[in-house]
Amino acid sequence: MECIITIELGTNAVRVFAFDLAGNVVASSKGSYPTFHSQPDYSEQDPEQIFITMLYVLKNLITEKLHPKKYDIRSICFLASMHSLLAIDKHGVPLGNLITWADNRGKREANDLKNSDFGKVIYNATGTPIHPMSPLVKIAWLKNHDPERFNKAYKFLSMKSYILQQLTGEYVIDYSLASATGLLNIHSIAWESQSLDFAGITSERLPQLMSVFSSPGKLRKEFQTSLGLSPDTRIMIGSSDGCMATLGAGIWREDKATVTIEDSGAVRIVGKEVLKDEKQRFFNYLITNNCYVSGGPTNNGGVVFEWFAKQFGDFSVPFDTEQIVEGLIRDASNVSAGSNGLLYLPYLLGERAPLWNANARGSYFGINIKHERSHFIRATIEGILYEIYSIGKILQEHRDINSLSVNGSFATIPFCTQLMADIFNKPVHTVTNFSSAARGAFLLNAIDMGIYPNLEAAAGSTPFQETIQPRQQDHQVYARYFKIFEKLSVKLEEEFEEIANLQQGVE
């Protein structure tokens, strides 16, 4: 029997899946790693810890679940979260920690660039909003604030590029992940000279560009031996987690959108043309020539509810976090829509779309003497989904969206999918396998192997589990509260900046 392995390098965990050639999951495993927040706007990870965790999870899956069942591993396909940056020296050794998408330290560089005519040119060329998340801005920050590391850096890599270099010896990045850096011209599919000038680097300090269907080469012999893999096992460079989640969710028609909520979240659509927006609110990421995944990301998805659970969950008995979350969801379900007028702005990590404000902060609004713990639980969930809706709302200024496909561990909680249907006032389809990103990577591999002729046919093979219809009465409640949520998010811009400066000790 033959199988395909997908390796997802997520924000806080590596997820490894094995699929048979019919697309069925035959094995899966997961390993977690921490994110470090040494200051309010800093989000970093240890790249070597991620690499070791990935090897450990992959080896266990192969030796414990695949080899005993005599599976022949045809291919390994990689996907990863976007916007990470790692500086390495000429020996491939990391110069400090990996900087993640959630890092906001480059706020000043981003604001200066975004508010310039030069910034508009770069956005139109690269399709990546000007924001501290962008590796373009991260490199500029290093140049301005950490010149020693900047000057020592032989290459600036994504996390996936670092992993692939460790495994194969090659410095590579796929077009799709590169299109999320702010450094790739998505029209010419080449490193953008004006971005390079702003960052203060040449293209030689970036990895080689490759198609998502390409292979960087064979595994090094030591990893072939330690993992028990054949020299013929194909290593496929793959894509980003966002683009693969869109493919795996079956979204390949322009009247559909997908919502992903893991730690972060996003609303995405697919099209043959770049989605143009004068306010620079959308990303346009490349999958293949003339095929773009467009939409908006939020920093504040499942990570916000996980934070809430850790701070306010009942840990008086030895339950794990998953059980605590289930208990909180049960309590929230006993509260009516709108949480009795309690609103939550979920901006714990600043915010990307649609605000693109790294200074945004979280707050509860409308608290009165009648509010209880259960109201705060439900308001927290509603706030996360209001933020998701705010992205979908502006996407609908450009596209007629008739239905949603949802994926991600947080997005597929039944209570949350019903709220999503009610807030959007659209039917919501759930997929059979909540890890649409992994399925997308399998489909990419399956196209490469000739199982599907193209991306559209591959996306059309995705089975849906159920469809949730919106409840009109609850939608009307949410529509009224969302107007206040939207106003607050914009009106508090000045106060967000003031409190962020105080938190960072800025005079």
Give tens-digit pLDDT for 305-342.
999 998 988 766 666 777 888 899 999 999 999 999 99
Q: Report the distance separating Cα 51 and Cα 175, nearest Å.
A: 22
Q: What is the pLDDT of residues 420-472, one digit of tens each?
A: 999 999 999 998 766 889 999 999 999 999 999 999 999 999 888 889 999 99
Please give the average per-residue pLDDT across 174-197, as a whole number: 97
On the question of pLDDT at 127 being above 90, the answer is: yes
Amino acid at 309: A
Report how far apart, in Å, the C-alpha atoms of 477 and of each of 270, 472, 473 are. 31, 9, 7
Greatest mean pLDDT among 150-154, 243-247, 287-291, 427-431 lies in 150-154
Helix (H) or strand (E) holding 184: strand 184-185
pLDDT at 20: 97
* Contact criterion met (CB below 8 Å) for 174 and 238: yes
Q: What is the pLDDT of residues 211-224, one digit of tens each?
A: 999 999 999 999 99
Q: Report the distance separating Cα 232 and Cα 234, nearest Å.
A: 6
Characterize 469-480 residue by residue with b for buried, 16 or more Cβ atoms within 10 angstroms of its Cβ, and e for exposed: ebbeebbebbee
* Contact criterion met (CB below 8 Å) for 269 and 254: yes
pLDDT at 254: 79
User: What tokens does 62 get?
Assistant: 């192969």
Contacts from 13-20 at CB under 8 Å and sequence distance 24+?
14/50, 14/53, 14/54, 14/57, 15/435, 15/438, 16/54, 16/57, 16/58, 16/61, 17/435, 17/438, 17/442, 18/61, 18/65, 18/66, 18/71, 18/73, 19/438, 19/439, 19/442
> What sign results for the dihedral spanned by CA atoms 358, 280, 487, 265?
negative
Q: Report the distance separating Cα 309 and Cα 36, nearest Å.
A: 19
Calculate Rg over the CA atoms of the chain: 22
| DSSP E strands, 1-144 | 2-9, 13-20, 25-32, 44-45, 72-80, 86-88, 98-99
* Contact criterion met (CB below 8 Å) for 215 and 167: no
Of 389 and 465, the structure prediction assigns the larger pLDDT to 389
Confidence of residue 253 (pLDDT cuts 50, 70, 90): confident
Question: Among 217, 245, 499, 192, which Cα is nearest to 357's?
Answer: 499
Q: Report the distance separating Cα 342 and Cα 322, nearest Å.
A: 25
Question: Among 347, 391, 342, 300, which Cα is nearest to 500's?
Answer: 347
Q: What is the pLDDT of residues 52-100, one digit of tens each?
A: 999 999 999 999 999 999 999 999 999 999 999 999 999 999 999 999 9
Question: Among 308, 365, 363, 361, which Cα is nearest to 342's?
Answer: 365
Please give the average per-residue pLDDT across 458-487, as a whole number: 95
Q: Report the distance separating Cα 442 and Cα 36, nearest Å.
A: 31
What is the chain's mean pLDDT, rounded? 94
On the question of pLDDT at 406 being above 70, the answer is: yes
Q: Report the distance separating Cα 18 and Cα 15, nearest Å.
A: 10
